[in-house]
Amino acid sequence: MENKAKVPTNTITRDVKDLAEPTGNIYKSVVILYKRANQIALAEKKELTKKLEDFKNDRDTMEEVFENKEQIEISKYYERQPKPDLVAISEFENGEIAYRTAGEQENQ
């Protein structure tokens, strides 16, 4: 997740055979990608929520919330980050994801 600079921010076409190659099965690859993307999304959401809690105030009016420029900048930063599924695919293609199926040793 630290190498987000190398991850494309838009969707690119990939060959399904290349994604299936490490596991030998496209469905296994898709499950691995789904689970990793979900992990990344949850971590990012937790991080964003923690940062935005600093701005939370019970007495804020709607106008004050919309005018908080620091909060807006933090939100925009996360919006510009590559989507979790693109990060997961990049990690998978670069062999950075460790995975295993029931009854097997850990791969990669």
In tens digits, the chain (108 residues) has pLDDT values of: 455 657 877 778 889 999 999 999 999 999 999 999 999 999 999 998 888 887 766 555 655 555 677 888 888 888 888 999 999 999 999 999 998 877 766 666
Q: What per-residue confidence (pLDDT) applies to 46?
A: 94
Q: Which residues contact 32 (CB under 8 A, 6 or more apart)?
A: 23, 92, 97, 99
Q: What per-residue confidence (pLDDT) applies to 72?
A: 82
CB-facing half-sphere around the CA of 77: CA atoms within 13 A: 12
Q: Where are the domains of the chain?
A: 4-93
Q: Transcribe 46-108 into DSSP letters.
A: HHHHHHHHTT--TT--HHHHHH-HHHHHHHHHHHHSPPHHHHHHHHHHTT---B--TTSPPB-
